[in-house]
């Protein structure tokens, strides 16, 4: 079945509308939590070649470039790279192709990063296996965690839909499920970050980053079990 461009997993997250979700002080704070987790996962590693899968949202490529990484951004269609090209100019290394990265040789990057993708690809397990295959050393991904009470997930989705308007349906997964795939590919999790105990949409609604920081600090003891989206940094095991 042919997939329309609008249904490709990285198109919606590379639009002006999506980027505006992270404008202002609250948006900057939300992104800073993600960026800190990614850079922490890469700390101690000499910057080399990185693949940013679905990175048209501009949340990964710019900070990695700033840290000295040579970044290739993989997008599924030219339109997904419009904002990134406008920001980076002609020096941007943007490649259009399937997000399973089959256009690249195995272990052709020192690090592979994929933010906002696991929830929207058709088969997240196959997607993660392909990401692992392209990495010599590090894989960093995020994913929305499955809620133990399905009703809570439904209520959160309705809240997001009401507040954001353009919220897409998305898949959730458990830490055990994702860890199992990484382990099977020869990777072990070195760092894991449950980003927010309270829903991100609630923080956007509050528009009070100081209050949001305070609430998240007070609830931080719940982050390992409830924090979402979860960011995992995995390293390839040494034989």
pLDDT for 3 equals 57
How distant is the alpha carbon of residue 92 from its chain centre? 20
Tens digits of residue pLDDT in 132-141: 999 999 999 9
Residue of higher predicted confidence among 201 and 84: 84
| CB distance 170 to 120 below 8 Å | yes
**Residue 31, pLDDT above cutoff 70:** yes
Give the integer Cα–Cα distance in Å for 191 and 232: 6
The confidence score (pLDDT) of residue 1 equals: 44
Q: How far is CA 78 from CA 19, 70, 94, 97, 215, in A?
A: 17, 20, 9, 9, 40
Helix, strand, coil percentages for the chain (3-state, nearest 5): 50, 20, 30
pLDDT for 162: 56
Q: What is the radius of gyration, based on Cα positions, of the chain? A: 17
Over residues 24-33, mean pLDDT: 95
Q: Alpha-carbon distance 176 to 88, whole Å?
A: 37
Confidence (pLDDT) at 7:
75
Confidence of residue 152 (pLDDT cuts 50, 70, 90): low
- The strand pairing partners of 142, in sequence order, are 231
Note the pLDDT of residue 20.
Answer: 86
Question: pTM surpassing 0.85?
Answer: yes
| pLDDT at residue 79, rounded to an integer | 92
Tell me the pLDDT band of 231, cut-offs 50, 70 and 90.
very high
- pLDDT tens digits for range 34-69: 999 999 999 999 999 999 999 999 999 999 999 999
Whether the per-residue pLDDT at 226 is higher than 60: the answer is yes
Question: What's the mean pLDDT when you consider all of the chain?
Answer: 89
* pLDDT of amino acid 183: 97
Per-residue pLDDT at 172 exceeds 80: yes
Contacting residues for 56 by C-beta, under 8 A, at least 6 apart: 10, 11, 13, 14, 73, 75, 80, 81, 82, 83, 84
pLDDT at 177 over 50: yes
Domains of the chain: 5-145+172-236 (3.40.50.150)
């Amino acid at each position: 079945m042919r997939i329309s461009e609008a249904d490709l997993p990285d198109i919606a997250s590379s639009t002006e509308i999506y980027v505006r979700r992270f404008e202002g002080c609250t948006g900057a704070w939300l992104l800073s939590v993600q960026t800190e987790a990614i850079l922490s996962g890469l700390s101690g590693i000499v910057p080399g070649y990185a693949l940013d899968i679905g990175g048209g949202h501009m949340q990964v490529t710019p900070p990695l470039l700033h840290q000295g990484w040579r970044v290739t951004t993989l997008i599924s269609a030219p339109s997904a790279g419009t904002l990134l090209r406008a920001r980076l100019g002609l020096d941007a290394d943007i490649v259009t192709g399937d997000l399973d990265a089959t256009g690249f040789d195995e272990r052709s990057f020192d690090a592979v990063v994929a933010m906002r993708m696991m929830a929207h690809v058709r088969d997240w397990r196959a997607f993660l296996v392909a990401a692992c295959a392209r990495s010599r050393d590090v894989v960093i991904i995020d994913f929305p965690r499955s809620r133990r009470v399905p009703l809570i997930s439904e209520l959160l989705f309705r809240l997001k839909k009401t507040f954001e308007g353009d919220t897409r349906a998305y898949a959730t997964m458990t830490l055990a499920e994702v860890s199992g795939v990484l382990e099977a590919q020869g990777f072990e999790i070195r760092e894991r970050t449950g980003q927010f105990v309270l829903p991100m949409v609630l923080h956007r609604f509050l528009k009070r980053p100081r209050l949001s920081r305070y609430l998240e600090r007070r609830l931080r003891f719940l982050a390992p079990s409830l924090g979402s989206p979860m960011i995992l940094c995995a390293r390839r095991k040494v034989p």
